[in-house]
Amino acid sequence: MLDKAIAAWSKELTEADLDSSLQYANMKGVVSTRRLGDLAMHFFNHQTHHRGQATALLTQAGQDVGVTDLLAILPSDA
């Protein structure tokens, strides 16, 4: 469900959105301003990191998580 919401959000982003700045505060209240495109890249990279952690834990627990190699999942251009 959350994946669908993220996919829908990312499809709506425009170049202008990605070039805009976003001001936010971290958990300590420190205010920062960053380009939305850079924040989106961090979001997806961080999500990948946590998915890798979950995959490792499931594998260690003896669960078959299936194919996770992107090259095996992507269709061939040939």
- The domain locations on the chain are 8-38
Task: Please report which confidence band the pLDDT of residue 73 belongs to, taking 50, 70 and 90 as the band edges.
Answer: confident
* 3, containing H or E segment: helix 2-12
Residue listed under structure tokens 């061939």: 76
pLDDT tens for 58-67 read 999 999 999 8
Helix, coil or strand: residue 20:
coil
pLDDT tens for 23-66 read 999 999 999 999 999 999 999 999 999 999 999 999 999 999 99
| Partners of 33 in beta bridges | 23
| Partners of 64 in beta bridges | none
Q: What is the pTM of this model?
A: 0.72
Helix, coil or strand: residue 25:
strand
